[in-house]
Amino acid sequence: MSTPASGPAPDPATDPALQPVAPASSRAATSPADAHSDALPGTPVDVLIVGGGVVGLATALALAEAGRSVRVIEAGAVGRGASHGNCGTITPSHAPPLAAPGTVRQAMKWLLTPDAPLYVHPGLDPMLWRWLFAFARRCNLRDWEASARAKSALLNDSRVRLPEWIARHGLACDFVEAGEDYVFRTDEALQHELAELPLLRELGIAAEVFDGPAYEAAEPAVKPDVAGAIRFTGDAALRPDRYVAELARALRACGGELVEHCALHAVREGRDGVEADTARGTLRAGHVVLATGAWSPRLARAVGLPWMRKVIQPGKGYSITYDPPEIVPKRPLVLRERSVCVSHWPQGYRLGSTMEFSGYDDSLNPRRLAALERGAREYLHVPYSDGVRERWCGWRPMSRDDVPLIGLAPERRRTWLATGHGMMGVGMSTGTGQLIADLIAGRAPAVDPAPFDPARFA
């Protein structure tokens, strides 16, 4: 295990990101950036970024490094969206998309199981069901493989860039390059996963396979009778809230501007640039990048891109953060049959995951939170501690092919999209930022932009 990035270790007693907080929608709008929010300047900038989550901040930082003047506007507080409560794993191994053969059949079995790992609320939301039907058409082997290849290219590029950014900007975010283990309690689930390894290895994703006894000897945190495990040695992990806060700090150090509590109302393109109507006045820029995550469908009409309402749905995830228990795993784990991720940092421990399609319902469902703890108890000797710091839920922007939308908006010259990253926003952040920066500059990017072109949906 590598040494965490340099910087002072966070103190649980004083670090606001480690204190118990309410669900995302009801929190007070506070963040590490709040005390330093810029007053809204009137001067135009080269690029206006809409969205202060991990993708928006990474894009802004890449553009600032390329010499562009950038301003980020955020409707709430920076870093309080999906980036805050996820498990912080950096996972090229997660390239296979959710839209896979068998996903629809499994989802239908779970339709009346509210605490299932994948749950679709059986309500009458026409836009959700239209999205689900389009998603279902992608659940075939050909489209599954095409999406996996596209995601893998961006995940691998981001994985290479991330430690370079951490070193260059001194990002103190508890980054470790320890790999990640998928743990199985049934041979059936293990064999299903092993069938995907040939494609993953073809995509450059290294994996080691352990039988049950060998894995139990190597990982004392797991209970006996494990069927086996797969270790993805190239995966990594970080503490996501600190990563986002550090991106914001690095952006300011590079001259970028951050404006919080500045909601976007409309965008207009002109011959020489764009105008954005916001809660704090009209802003002007040469280009605008919409990095609005799960809010993209709700802003679709305001920005003149109504087709986005059909393309992205909010996929709700949950996590619980604790004081570290007495025994923690040596590296992040995915408890595969229960779809529970286990991650930890020097001052924290988190259970997370699940996928719920229930619109923008921001309530904390106690049954789904309990499913995280129940899954952990099946696999781990000490699944969690009594010290709960935070129960959280948030929305991921799920595109219907599980591939992000990165590039010029259709029929636009100055409006760019960087959204739809699903569960991979943190892991794809550096690659997305660099890709947008290269495309705006007219440079040849390291990653083929064609699979991410938003025009595939318009």
Q: What pTM does this model have?
A: 0.90
- Tell me the domains of the chain and their CATH numbers: 43-456 (3.50.50.60)
State residue 21's pLDDT score.
Answer: 32
State residue 2's pLDDT score.
Answer: 32
Q: Please report where in the chains the tokens 């006045």 appear, as a residue.
A: 281
Strand 348-357 relative to strand 312-322: parallel, antiparallel, unpaired? Answer: antiparallel
Nearest to 196 by CA among 139, 118, 143, 144: 144
State residue 105's pLDDT score.
Answer: 80
Residue 434: DSSP 8-state: H
For 423, the enclosing helix (H) or strand (E) is: none
State residue 30's pLDDT score.
Answer: 36
| φ and ψ of 140, to 5 deg | -135, 165
Rounded Cα gap, residues 131 and 138, in angstroms: 11
Q: Is 405 helix (H, G, I), strand (E, B) or coil?
A: strand
State residue 40's pLDDT score.
Answer: 56
User: Which residues are CB-contacts of 99 (< 8 A; sequence separation ≥ 6)?
Assistant: 135, 138, 139, 143, 144, 147, 400, 401, 402
Nearest to 440 by CA among 163, 154, 70: 70
State residue 426's pLDDT score.
Answer: 97
Q: Is the dihedral of CA 57, 58, 59, 64 positive or negative?
A: positive
User: Which residues are CB-contacts of 170 (< 8 A; sequence separation ≥ 6)?
Assistant: 5, 6, 7, 250
Mean pLDDT by 10 residues, the chain (458 residues): 32 35 33 45 89 97 97 92 90 93 81 81 84 92 96 98 98 97 97 94 96 97 97 97 97 96 95 94 97 96 95 96 97 96 95 92 93 97 97 95 97 97 97 98 96 95
